[in-house]
Amino acid sequence: MKPETLPPLDVETLWRLCLHVVRQRRLGKAPQDGPALTWEASQGFTLGDEWSAEAGELFSLVKPLLDRTHGSAPWVLGQLGQSLNGCIATRGGDANYINGAEVLLHLHRLRALSDAVIVGAATAALDNPQLTTRRVEGDNPVRVVIDPSLRVPPSSKVFSDHAAPTLLVCDAEREAEAADRVGADQVLGVPRLTGSDGIVDVRAMQAALAGRGLRVLFVEGGGVTVSHFMRQGCMDRLHLSIAPVVIGDGRPGLSLPQDLSMGDCARPPCRLYRMGGDVLWDLDLRASAASDGMASTST
């Protein structure tokens, strides 16, 4: 039942509620352990009159992250911002300004609601990102760089700016070498992480991260990394933001190996959100089309 004393929710109020829920989770507390305006209270709301339209949209987008409880199984949200023709950057690796400011703000919100933000070695090397929550109120997640070949420069911001804890993930066999580069406290060596094919076993990495208390994982890119998570069945949700731009011969987004007939291709349940000039597809990679209130789109 909706408590009558609570004011209508605008985005600012909702965001404070989100941060409260996530801080409780990170501290290992149930949401109801906290002060007023708890998660439990929020359950009384519906996405109706009491919410601004913007707050309602934000809530439905981030609810899956808020639903995670301390100690629950690893859960993964991926994201890619891409052009109309499916590229996430130019061939040379420039991904700036594909998406507009609204999508950027959304990425920072997702970082703030996750335990860890993960990028592949190419993104860390080419973009030299900070991976912080500087555009929103909220705590930085742990920054994770998948760098099995140890090619990301130790001078990169993530390893040198001390803005948030950072972990370079590599095979345990190269842990000492990695520690020499970026310091032992910034290395997570995982036994049998890489097979003879050079592919990182995403589940082994997830288990190692869970051992550090990192279970709600935000995979921010690039395309190779997100694709590996999907191929190995390790992604629960994907936010695909499509911008009205065409990039000639750029770096690909999703790349999956199957050559299936059209009828066998995945058609995950999804919702659409306008983000400025971009369109965000929220894809539920676990649910069947009939569940979770999501409808498959059709043309």
Q: Given the rule CB under 6 A, which residues bind ligand NAP?
A: 80-81, 88-89, 93, 95, 98, 119-123, 126-127, 146, 148-149, 151, 198-200, 202, 220-225, 228, 251
Closest C-alpha to 105, from 239, 8, 238, 215: 239
Residue type, 262: M
Is the Cβ of residue 138 or residue 221 nearer to ligand NAP in the bound state?
Answer: 221
| Least separation in angstroms between CB 11 and ligand NAP | 23
| Least separation in angstroms between CB 171 and ligand NAP | 10
Task: Say whether 262 sits in a helix, a strand or coil.
Answer: helix
| Least separation in angstroms between CB 196 and ligand NAP | 12
Is the Cβ of residue 24 or residue 227 nearer to ligand NAP in the bound state?
Answer: 227
Please give the Cα distance from 247 to 109 (Å, whole number).
27
| Least separation in angstroms between CB 93 and ligand NAP | 3
Closest C-alpha to 258, from 227, 222, 299, 226: 227
| Least separation in angstroms between CB 269 and ligand NAP | 22
| Least separation in angstroms between CB 234 and ligand NAP | 9
Is the Cβ of residue 31 or residue 81 nearer to ligand NAP in the bound state?
Answer: 81
Helix/strand/coil (H/E/C) assignment for every residue in 136-187: CCCCCCEEEEECCCCCCCCCCHHHHCCCCCEEEEEEHHHHHHHHHHHCHHHE
Is the Cβ of residue 31 or residue 223 nearer to ligand NAP in the bound state?
Answer: 223
**Which residues share a beta bridge with 221?**
119
Please give the Cα distance from 16 to 215 (Å, whole number).
22
For 150, list phi and psi in degrees, rounded to 5: 50, 55
Residues near 153 by Cβ (< 8 Å), separated by ≥ 6?
Answer: 125
Is the Cβ of residue 24 or residue 171 nearer to ligand NAP in the bound state?
Answer: 171
Is the Cβ of residue 33 or residue 177 nearer to ligand NAP in the bound state?
Answer: 177
Query: Are 45 and 10 a contacting pair, CB within 8 Å?
Result: no
